A and B are shown apart, each in its own frame.
Chain A
Amino acid sequence: MLETKLLTERFNHYDGLNINHYIDLDGFNALKKALTMSPGDIVHEIELSKLTGRGGAGFPTYIKMKSMLETEGKKILVCNADEGEPGHFKDRYLLEKDPYLVLEGMLISAYAIGAKQGYIYIRGEYDNAIKQFSKVIAIAENKGYLGKRILNTDFEFTLELRRGAGAYVCGEEFALMESIEGKPGRTRVKPPYPTEKGVFNHPTLINNVETFCNLPSIIERGGEGYAQIGSEYATGTKLICLSGHVKEKGLYEVAYGTPIIDVINTLGGGTINDIPIQMVQIGGACGPIIPPELLSMSIDNEAFEIFDAKMGAGAIIVMDENDDMFELILRNMEFFLHESCGKCAPCREGHIQLVHLLKKFVNFTATDKDFQSLRSLAEVIHTTTLCGLGQTSPTSIISTLKYFERMYHKRIQQSNKEAKHDRVTD
C-alpha cells in the first residue's frame, strides 16, 4: 500500500453535499474536540504536528497561527483556493469531493486564532467547486456550523466565498488580499505581513486548502500522533497531482518520504507505451526539471531544496524521451509572461525576452550568444523580482541548465547545421 489516506479518506463515500453523510462518516468530530480545547493548546498541537503549508512555500503553519494569537481586535481567516499553478488539481478535488473537510479545517483554525470572519477565494474557472461550496456554506449556516453560537458554544464565524476572475498571480497571498478587496491582484510591498496587516488592514491568516484539511487529523490524533506519519524531514501526507506521459494520471495521497519514482511507477503505472522517462517537472511551471537519476529522491520539502525550489504544491509532470524539453520550457515561460502582473520590470520585460530566446531553441536557430543571454536573464529575474512569481519562474531554465546543459549545446550545434543547410537550399 503506497497510499496513506488522511485527507482523501471520504472521497466517493458521500456526494460532497449532504452534511448528514459527512457527520455519519465522523465529520466534525475534530471540531467538537477542538471546541473543548483552549486556542493555545490547539496551536501547540499544530506545532507538535510539524505541519507545513501545502500551498507551495512550505512554511510552518503554527508560526503564522501563533502571531495571530498574539494580536488583538478583528481578525480574518482566508482559505486560498486559487489553485492555478500548471499541473495542480488537488485543491479542486478536495473542494469537490470533501468540501466539509475544508470547512471543518477552517473552523478549527478560526476558533484557534479568534477570527470571526473568513473568506474562501476560489479561482473563477472552478465552476463546479464554486457552485458546490456556495451550497455548502448555506447548508452549514442552516445546520449551525456557521454563524453565531456554533455547536452551542460562544464560537462564531461567518464565511464568504469570493471568486477569482482569471489571474494566476492572485494565488500569491498579497495579491490575493488585494483581489478580496475588489482590486487588481498586484502584490504589496512587504512587510507588513498578512498576520500584521492583511485584508482591510486586519490581521489575516492565509492558508492553502490542503493545509486546512490536515487540521482535523491533527486534532483527532494529537500533534505527536500526526507527526508519526511521514519522514524525518516532513510530517503527514502530501497530495500528489500526477500528469504528463504516464498511464494512470491522477490524484494520489502519499506519506512524506515516499520516493518520487514509486509514485510514477507504482501508482501511475509507468510511462505510456513504456517509453523511457526523459525528465520530470516537480511542483508545476515554477518547479525544477530533474533527470531520471534523481527520481529516487523522496517527496519531502526540506530534503528537496534545490535551487530554492521545494516540492511545491505537489505536481509531478512526467515527460518521456519523445518530448522536446525546449517546447516545454517555452510553454512555462509563455505562462509566466501572460500571468506577470507587470509591477516590476525584470518580470514584465524579462519574460518577453525569455520567450523570444526559447523560441529560437525550439526553432533550431539558437546561438551561443542566445545561450549566454538566457542564462543571465534567468538569474536576473530570479534575484531581482518582487514576488514569488518572478523569483521562481525561471526555475525550469536554471534547473535544466544544471542537469541538461548538453541539450542546449546540442540544439545550438544542430541550429548551426540547419542554418547552413538553409543557406545551401537558398
Chain B
Amino acid sequence: MNLHNILKKHEFKKDKLIEILIDVQHEKPYNNITEKEVESIAKALELPVSHVCGVMSFYTLLSLEKRGKYIIQVCKDVPCFINDEFNILKTLEQTLNIQCGETTDDHFFTLEESACLGHCDEAPVMRINDTMYTNLTKTKVFRILEQYKEGTLC
C-alpha cells in the first residue's frame, strides 16, 4: 500500500497518526520512515512537522534511521535474563559481527535489545519483525539466522 492509500484507510484522522506511522513503516524495505515522508504525513493530516517528529522519537518501534530488512529484538528483562544460559545477545553480536543497536553492512539485519516481550513463560525469546522465537537455544538461534539468510523464513 502506498502512503496515500494508508492515509485514506485511516480517513486522514489526526488521532490515527501512530496507526498511520506503523503502517507506513511496515511497508518500507528498511523499517524506517524518511523525513520526506514525515513531512508528507504532517501536511496530509494538517499537523505540525514537529508533532509528527515528536511522536516518531517517543515510540521505540518507530525509526527515522534506515535499518535492516529484519529487525532482531532480543528481550533483555529479568525473566529472560534468568533463563538465558548462553547470552543470546552476545551470540548474535558475534555471529552478525555487529554491536547491539547496529545494522549489518548489507542492511539485512538490525540488532536491538527489547523490553519484555510478554513471553516470559517461553524465555529466552527474541522477535524478528512480526514473529516471536521462543525457548531459544544456541542451535536454534543459528538455525533461525540461516533460514532468514536462505530466504526460507520471511
Interface residue ranges, A against B (CB under 8 Å): 83-89, 91-92, 123-128, 162-168, 179-186, 200, 241-245, 249-251, 281, 285, 315, 317, 319, 323, 327-328, 331-332, 334-335, 338-339, 341
Contact = CB atoms under 8 A, between A and B. Distances in A.
B118 A183 contact: no
Contact of A163 (B14, B22, B79, B119): B22
B108 interface: no
A426 B122 CA distance: 45
B79 A87 contact: yes
B121 A339 contact: no
Interface string B73-84: 100111101110
Given A88-B118, A165-B62, 14 more contacts: A83-B118, A84-B115, A84-B118, A86-B78, A86-B116, A86-B120, A124-B22, A126-B118, A163-B18, A182-B13, A184-B55, A285-B78, A285-B116, A335-B76
B154 interface: no
Given A181-B15, A182-B14, A243 B121 contact: yes
Contact of A317 (B19, B55, B79): B79
Given A86-B115, A166-B59, A281-B78, A241 B120 contact: yes
B136 interface: no
Contacts of B72: none
B2 interface: no
A341 B123 CA distance: 27
B118 A331 contact: no
B118 A165 contact: no
Interface of B: 13-19, 21-22, 51, 54-55, 58-62, 73, 76-79, 81-83, 114-123, 127, 130-132
A86 B77 contact: yes
Given A124-B22, A179-B18, A249-B120, A335 B77 contact: yes
20 contacts: A87-B120, A127-B130, A162-B19, A163-B18, A164-B59, A165-B59, A165-B60, A166-B59, A168-B115, A182-B55, A184-B59, A200-B15, A241-B120, A243-B82, A244-B82, A285-B78, A317-B78, A317-B79, A323-B82, A341-B58
Contact of A182 (B17, B114, B118): B17
Contacts of A168: 115
A332 B78 contact: yes
A250 B121 CA distance: 5
Contacts of A328: 78, 81-82
Nearest to A320: B82
Contact of B131 (A127, A165, A200): A127
Contacts of A164: 18, 59
Given A184-B58, A243-B123, A244-B79, A335 B19 contact: no
B115 A162 contact: no
Contacts of B15: 180-182, 200
B60 A241 contact: no
B21 to A, nearest CB: 7
Contacts of A162: 18-19
A411 B58 CA distance: 37
A308 to B, nearest CB: 21
The 10 closest A-B pairs by CB, nearest first: A166-B60, A165-B59, A166-B61, A184-B58, A86-B116, A86-B77, A182-B17, A243-B79, A243-B120, A249-B121
